[in-house]
Amino acid sequence: MHTATGFLHEGRAYGLLAAAGLRVPRHGFLEAGALPFSAGEPIVLKGIADQLWHKSDRGAVHFGPFEVAALNAEAAAMRQRVAEHPWIGGLVCEKVAFKKLSGLPTEALVSLKRDPDAGWLVVFGIGGLQADAWAALAPPLIWPIALTTPDQALADLCSHWLGRTWLGRQRGTEALTDEAKLLAFLQGLWRAVDGLQCEGVTLLELNPIVLDSEGLPTALDGVGTLENTTPATIVPPDPAWYQALVNPQRLVIAGVSSREGTVGRIILENVRKSKLPESSLRLIKPGATEFLGLPCLASVADLASAPADQLILSLPAVQTLEAVEQLCRQGGGATVVYLVAGGLGDGADTEGLGKRLVACLEEHRRAGKWTPAVVGPNGLGLFSPDLALNTLFIPDMKLPLTAKPGHLALVSQSGAFLITRLSRRPELGLRAAIAIGNQMDVRCSDFLRGFATDAAVRVVGAYLEGFAPADLQATAQATRALRKAGRRVLLYKGGRSQEGMAAASSHTGALAGDHALQAALLRRAGAMLADRMETFDAALAWLGAYPEGRPTSVAIMTNAGFESVASADLLSGPFRGARLSESETAALAATIEAEGLAGLVSARLPLDLTPMANESAYLAAAKVLLGSEAEAVVVGLVPLTVRLDTTQPEAIRAFASEWVRLAQASGKWLGVAVEGGALFDLYRQELRAAGLPVFLTMEEALEGLRLIASEV
């Protein structure tokens, strides 16, 4: 028989599945001699040929009785029909009797796939000839082997359309199997991956999988691909890079111009406002010994004897590349190098500069030589509040940053995304906010691992457009490690549509990839994955105030009927509206009466206080709600009522301080939505300054809370 190259044929697939304890049909090749069948027994003959994926389409499947002479003749005819494919043999298989339901699909499709970026995956969906059509109605499940157990997969399967059908949980259906058989099947798939890995299999597609007469999942067909190459091992940068980036003691900038308003000049002006002493700053400026009051070096070669923690290169792409290559040649100079320039590995790189940069770093690291950790290129800079260190090339008049150290770490592949968040949410307490650029060296997973070493970081927020090669799985594993350590990871992944992928590629040179796969992997690792930027921002505001907890019962309090109704509509899915006990209802009724609102306000949730409520009524009612089963209270304020003071900063601060005091005393979450125009920006600003998460709408507040409640 011909030996297939790069192709996993059905006979070999059956062997690998059987070795993992999975049910496959009795089978054997005609060419191998004696077969495990009785004369006249119903069988299926399949013509197996190299790269022949769809046998039935080519007349290479035959049903009939087991008669060797007739089967040999039929196999010879099949061989002629697929003559362009090197023949492997005639595979005789047991004709499996399997269970069906009238009008409903009961066949499954399972793919075991070694993805170069995500690792081994199991994809489970509805199979058969109409698999593609059914996938649109019941999307397949994606299980990353490294991040999912068979028990977790079973829970997903029991909720899937096909799983409910198999288990008789669809209306009008009877059970075709049970959970114990499905769990054993899933455990076999997990075991099979080890065998596939050893054999160099990269894909095994099983379609269809049916339930035999005993309810055992049985693969009736299986083909795949083989590859003997071993994925390249990525050598990570020296872990010292993280502290050198966020807490440098010696910083050097190259590319500072005498002209104001240029990139390097803005970076320097921002850095000089930090807590770093002037003695820790140097510039690289050929031909000068001093510039703008700072000592100068002639080139990066001078750093060999006087190294920096961080070197910022604000130079054109070609000079940037030459500087990094020089550092590598001399074996020292800067622990971390931050690259500002684009034109390296992105749409503007027409000379292969990015490839040269990557090759240089990989060559030195694999050889065990000193290599700098390179952040970027196409990086906008970072903000590290502990040092008040701002290396962003945005002038202070456009982005005034207040050093407010805290537990949030923000990373963004897009510098613009980062600075707009810093501009919109100045109240956030940050450990660091970093524009990571194109990730040509230090990747998203490296940043997550860096944050894991930083005790100050409790929550990580990230905006990503694409993953560096093989970094998706590493990012998921780093996310899982952060979650196990009690940290939170909030992500927004851009480039989900074809148009988005194209935009991401042209912007950062990154491949956005298959969003469904990425989302499945990251969610399974424990990341909160926002579908909209507004949801990301809202969840970030909540987590900025409350890094611990995951509220699933919510009490709503507003002063507008539309807010109460709209908010009630949003209380579904991972969280629900809180309920008041009889005593709590009575306490709320007494509070309403004491505040002069009897006859205007009903003592129930959602609580509509009407525009007649003043600050005292809000606070008194909040005290009752925070003492209930509610784990979070979301307050809606339409500030146009004259009963609320929205103009006097002192009064607003006092009100905000009481909100914060009540929330802290209860240990519950409390957030405020101020639904009004620009006239009330001061009001929102003072509430935020007190430490409250503040939103523009109730919908925004609740969508952010919903995402947090859905965290794995």
3-state secondary structure of 384: strand
Note the CATH number of domain 108-226.
3.30.470.20
CB 202 within 8 A of CB 227: yes
Average per-residue pLDDT for the chain: 93
Q: What is the pLDDT of residue 173?
A: 87
* Overall CATH class of domain 26-94: alpha beta
| 37-62 mean pLDDT | 95
Q: For domain 547-709, is the CATH number 3.40.50.261?
A: yes
Residue 61's SS3 state is: strand
Per-residue pLDDT tens digits for 297-352: 999 999 999 999 999 999 999 999 999 999 999 999 999 999 999 899 888 888 99
Q: What percent of the chain has pLDDT over 90?
A: 85
Q: What is the pLDDT of residue 614?
A: 96
- Given a cut of 80, whether residue 136 has pLDDT beyond it is no
Confidence of residue 234 (pLDDT cuts 50, 70, 90): confident
pLDDT at 466: 87
- CATH 3.30.470.20 segments of the chain: 108-226
DSSP conformation class of 232? P
Write out pLDDT tens, residues 374-430: 999 999 999 999 999 999 999 999 999 988 999 999 999 999 999 999 999 999 999
Q: Give the pairing type, strands 488-493 and 528-530.
A: parallel
Residue 228: the pLDDT is 72
List where CATH 3.30.1490 sits in the chain: 26-94
Instruction: Determine the average pLDDT of the residues in 183-205.
Output: 95
- Residues of CATH 3.40.50.261 domain(s) within the chain? 547-709
pLDDT in tens, 575-592: 899 999 999 999 999 999
SS3 48: strand
Residues 6+ apart with CB under 8 A from 44: 25, 61, 62, 63, 92, 93, 94, 95
Convert the pLDDT of each residue in 492-527 to its tens digit.
998 655 444 444 433 333 333 488 889 989 999 999
Which helix H or strand E contains 501, and what residues bound it?
helix 498-508
User: What's the mean pLDDT in 98-111?
Assistant: 91
Q: Which residues contact 568 (CB under 8 A, 6 or more apart)?
A: 556, 577, 606
pTM here is 0.88
CB of 544 closer than 8 Å to CB of 587: no
